[in-house]
Amino acid sequence: MEKTYHLMATAAAGLESLVGKELERLGYDHQVENYRVRFDGTQRDILNTNIWLRTADRIKIIVGEFDAKTFDDLFENVKALPWEDYLNYDSEFPVAGRSKKSELFSVPDVQAITKKAIVNRLQDAYHIRTRLPENGYFAQLEVMIDKDHVIVTLDTTGESLFKRGYRVNKGGAPLKENFAAALVLLTNWHPDRPFVDPTTGSGTIAIEAALIGRNIAPGLIRDFDVEQMDWFDKFLSDSVRDEAEAQADYDRTLDIEGFDIDENMVAIATENAKHAGLGHDITFKQLAAKDWTTDKINGVLVANPPYGERLGELDAARELYQQMGDVYRQLPSWSKYILTSDLEFEQSYGEKATKRRKLYNGALRVDYFQYWGKRVK
């Protein structure tokens, strides 16, 4: 019987339900919580979700969870976990920590006690009396305590999942790739419809749309920490990637365009798309948002314009929003989705949104203003 692990996909605030939907599409039962979605799976599933999830941050194994109000409780419960199943005697395993609303509120103490308990367990398991060398494979652990409930995890991902591996260059304020994918998945876009990003920057939104349109797994061209761990079946690395590769659709015709007023950004976006293997799928052009027009119908537009966060920039940003409103109102069959931290965006744009969704771009509160098009048959 293949071993099943308790797993969690971590996510930015506001994106948890999207990660849940992705897991559902991949065939996993799941439970959505704040900042994470829980599910169970085998080693194959650990790699499969790392490769396929577009909107998650990381996949972690829940090594154990329990309640603890004293350091003794914490020590004994951590020590009781089967660490030798995950760590060698020489593994390098830093322990990150977080605590909120708990008796054990000192994070450095929580980390130190957790580390000590794991060291004791490994010394017993491997019959070592000296210090552990910690020069073997790397495993990032974390102990999280919330209202005296402790969850201890092992990260299988390594660099966060937004590091797809295609971005060679970025502009001033790039969107994380998984956040850009979320913006696309929150629209009603289907790959047979036109897609436009009028303020494309380094091209991330257009590239993520193309990956979705081609059904290309976002994690195909990178490695994950779990693949270096001795207990992990190395055969899976090729077989799971081959299966994912086989699901890509290279025959479909995509109509995806990205525009930016800055020709340097257009060059960067073009380069990034080439690296993602999507050089032929996206057309990038230098063009100001106000100068764009189209005869196409039923398209979807996703914009992440400058927010005007810095002093003196808000007026310029609001002028751009007004120009966008003037242009986009001429395109009633298009659905428009615009992300900004200016909560008074609708006044500049000149129209109330069909719907707005609260999100966080990093630590910054932003709203996703949605204007749904009237589809032309």
For residue 302, the domain's CATH number is 3.40.50.150
> Same structural domain for residues 108 and 208?
no
> Same structural domain for residues 55 and 112?
yes
Residue 170 lies in a domain: no
Supply the pLDDT for residue 306.
84
> Same structural domain for residues 241 and 359?
yes
> Same structural domain for residues 149 and 194?
no
Residue 250 lies in a domain: no
Bridge-based pairing of strands 95-100 and 141-146 is parallel
- CA separation for the pair 156, 134 (Å, rounded): 18
What is the span of the domain harbouring residue 135? 5-155
Supply the pLDDT for residue 1.
82
DSSP string for 306-336: ----STTTHHHHHHHHHHHHHHHTT-TTSEE
> Same structural domain for residues 237 and 207?
yes
Number of structural domains the chain divides into: 2
| Alpha helices (H) along 203-313 | 204-213, 235-246, 263-275
Phi-psi region of 308 (alpha: psi -120 to 50; beta: other; left: phi over 0): left
> Same structural domain for residues 97 and 33?
yes
> Same structural domain for residues 200 and 55?
no
Supply the pLDDT for residue 307.
80
* Domain end marker among 101, 122, 155: 155
Measured in Å, how far apart are the chain's first and last C-alpha atoms? 53
Residue 168 lies in a domain: no
Output the six-digit token pair for 139: 């495993």
Q: Which of 217, 236, 222 has its CA nearest to residue 45?
A: 236
377 residues of the chain, pLDDT tens digit each: 899 999 999 999 999 999 999 999 999 999 999 999 999 999 999 999 999 999 999 999 999 999 999 999 999 999 999 999 999 999 999 999 999 999 999 999 999 999 999 999 999 999 999 999 999 999 999 999 999 999 999 999 999 999 999 988 877 777 999 999 999 999 999 999 999 999 999 999 999 999 999 999 999 999 999 999 999 999 999 999 999 999 999 999 999 999 999 999 999 999 999 999 999 999 999 999 999 999 999 999 999 998 877 767 889 999 999 999 999 999 999 999 999 999 999 999 999 999 999 999 988 999 999 999 999 98
Residue 261 lies in a domain: yes
Residue 118 lies in a domain: yes
Residue 311 lies in a domain: yes
For residue 103, the domain's CATH number is 3.30.2130.30
